[in-house]
Structure 1
């Protein structure tokens, strides 16, 4: 009687080899970097139209017009999506003898309105897109609705405003009219807490910038803690990831002046596929799943097209192009980002 065992073993071995090759191909495809394409950049250092001195905030309206907070020029500049300068409006200065207004957070609200936060003045202000003040609220303090160094701001799915209250180590939620609705967070390292690696009252740990995904979830960045956190719209802690250092996925170890702290994640934005983009002061933008798995990286350190020096705010237009406030290079950069495979 003839035995089929050798033939069976051979087929089994061939099947295993084929399966291994297939899995290897799938893994290689999954790890292949996204083919990000640099589109354009505009700006250089100065105070003329289209020039910048520390652009840190960035927002787009429903016509894909780009609004930039020009920190050390104490103004907002408006551009079309190709970088053509359209308008400028001045902001109230923090220190009158200097041209400075620490307005970092900015978001377009629709209906021709723009919301800005003022870190030194502890204010939230609503303007028309022409720069006319509509309303403002906030004063320094710790009570609900009071602020201490407000940073990033994002529009919730319900059209309310979430504000990063940096020195109070919390996120506060307001109506568009300025009514306080809710808040969460305190100083600490646990999920839902902020800035625990810095003394209480420091602004260097966060929360810094905020973003929202298609599910309405809110994301925050913490510089000194090198952490991104994810929350429900009501403030329930859902996820977090942290990684100092310069390895892939790491948010960098950057010394701010003489402060030996880790200043990593700064700007944050979420695209229409719920991929989470995070800028960091190790001169790159990294892209993650909502659970914190690294997908790909945009840019590296330098001043050539597609390179960054201390990138800050991030934003998307209706076509899904990414805009980056390349603060250290005094410019805005635009990239085409491919859809997921």
Structure 2
């Protein structure tokens, strides 16, 4: 009886390898997966848990909204933009989602006569991924700890200091207190309380600064929760179904919904500025500056600002008022001046340290440095001008990012069902 093969690192569908093959490569995150067989019947095949997500993508495609379908596929499966677009193109062509047609014309994930058990290859060596980004030493303090004997004759140059030290990690898989199923949004308020949101179901859990569970409350349970922000006073802003709603963070009491001009397609991401105003992604190419009351002060057409096609996905604002926009179509970050003028761009596809081939989240630290979570490559750090500074977090799938005034970074390690706090180095 057939079952579905999925990557244990990013949950993407795997193509069935050639008969007797021992290893399969994930076409999305590049992780090498070791395969082993056991006789049929010792493990019951189950239905594909992602079938509902694929069906929803199909419904959006049938309504003629290709971009929204690509965005949904990427959010549901945690894959890169190019991979999501290719998968949606295959769906539109009537092929199975996420598969790569064999040269003989066949496709599929089914396995007859045997059930394949996926085992992640443990360690730093990932088959087929020997890029410089993988070969570099991790920024983790443990990874950089010297193993040389005390009497070594030539210790060599000292390792560069780590950009950030891990100081807290909490969470596990499940639906109980302190457990997560698909946590992608994180936020922190002025008291250090940490808010963690599930993508589906509207569940928001509240933790103290030490990671101890405090309470939970529910936003709209029927709509994906695509962004979560908190101000210093403990008000939480939730983005769902193109709308921004305000909640009392400690209790989940709904405080109201911000107005939304009809000419705006929808809000999909927000960032709070130090003056209490907000910047928001407001449609396929618009960035909006909102007042404290949610009224639109002005809009910026990103395509006009950069002089070419652009599709904003995430936005962050620095203390200087400069705005940084993550474009997942081009995998780049656009730097805008406080008045909306285009300043520069950085990141983009590639394997080099300055590249951001699969960007997901963006935040600004207290020094004005730009932090970008890159799927499978942890968190990359750039200075305010877009020059690469370093990275930390290891080769992890990181989604949401939040930064505190105390030089702490809160990150959602979605595939590990954990939230990690880092302290940035001076």
Q: What's the TM-score, normalizing by structure 1?
A: 0.73
1:125 aligns with 2:245: yes
In structure 2, which of residues 258, 283, 286 is the aligned counterpart of residue 137 of structure 1?
258
In 2, Cα distance between the equivalents of 1:62 and 1:193? 39
In structure 1, the partner of 2:381 is 287
1:62 aligns with 2:182: no
Distance change (3 Å), C-alpha of 1:194 and 1:160: farther
Q: CA deviation digits over 1:263-314, x for unaligned, max 9?
A: x22211111111111101133110001111111111222xxxxxx22x1121
Aligned to 2:256, what secondary structure does the other structure show? strand
Q: Is the 8 A contact 1:47 1:73 kept in 2?
A: no
1:36 aligns with 2:151: no
In 2, Cα distance between the equivalents of 1:35 and 1:168? 34
Point out where structure 2 has 5 or more consecutive residues left out of the alignment. 1-156
In structure 2, the partner of 1:304 is none
Point out where structure 1 has 5 or more consecutive residues left out of the alignment. 1-27, 95-100, 196-205, 253-263, 302-307
CA RMSD of aligned residues (A): 2.3
Once the two structures are TM-superposed, the CA of residue 140 in structure 1 deviates from its matched residue by 8.7
In structure 2, the partner of 1:159 is 276
In 1, Cα distance between the equivalents of 2:307 and 2:277? 20
- Would you identify which runs of 4 or more consecutive aligned residues in structure 1 move more than 4 Å? 138-141
1:234 aligns with 2:351: no
Once the two structures are TM-superposed, the CA of residue 124 in structure 1 deviates from its matched residue by 0.8
Distance change (3 Å), C-alpha of 1:299 and 1:282: same
Distance change (3 Å), C-alpha of 1:328 and 1:177: same
In structure 2, the partner of 1:326 is 413
1:177 aligns with 2:293: yes
Q: What aligned pairs does 1:37-52 form with structure 2 within 5 A after superposition? A: 37-52=165-180
Once the two structures are TM-superposed, the CA of residue 232 in structure 1 deviates from its matched residue by 2.2
Once the two structures are TM-superposed, the CA of residue 187 in structure 1 deviates from its matched residue by 4.8
Q: Is the 8 A contact 2:189 2:233 kept in 1?
A: no
Q: Is the 8 A contact 1:208 1:267 kept in 2?
A: no
Q: Is the 8 A contact 1:168 1:187 kept in 2?
A: no
In structure 2, which of residues 330, 346, 353 is the aligned counterpart of residue 225 of structure 1?
330
Q: Is the 8 A contact 2:242 2:268 kept in 1?
A: no
In 2, Cα distance between the equivalents of 1:79 and 1:177? 28
Distance change (3 Å), C-alpha of 1:193 and 1:217: farther
Q: CA deviation digits over 1:142-186, x for unaligned, max 9?
A: x1xx333x2221112331111112x42211122232212111125
1:300 aligns with 2:394: yes
Distance change (3 Å), C-alpha of 1:285 and 1:327: same
Q: What aligned pairs does 1:193-212 form with structure 2 within 5 A after superposition? A: 195=310, 206-212=311-317
Q: What's the TM-score, normalizing by structure 2?
A: 0.59
Once the two structures are TM-superposed, the CA of residue 34 in structure 1 deviates from its matched residue by 2.8
- Alignment: residue pair count: 269
In 2, Cα distance between the equivalents of 1:110 and 1:37? 24
Q: Is the 8 A contact 2:258 2:294 kept in 1?
A: yes
Aligned to 1:245, what secondary structure does the other structure show? coil
Q: Is the 8 A contact 1:251 1:282 kept in 2?
A: no
Distance change (3 Å), C-alpha of 1:151 and 1:283: farther
Q: Is the 8 A contact 2:335 2:343 kept in 1?
A: yes
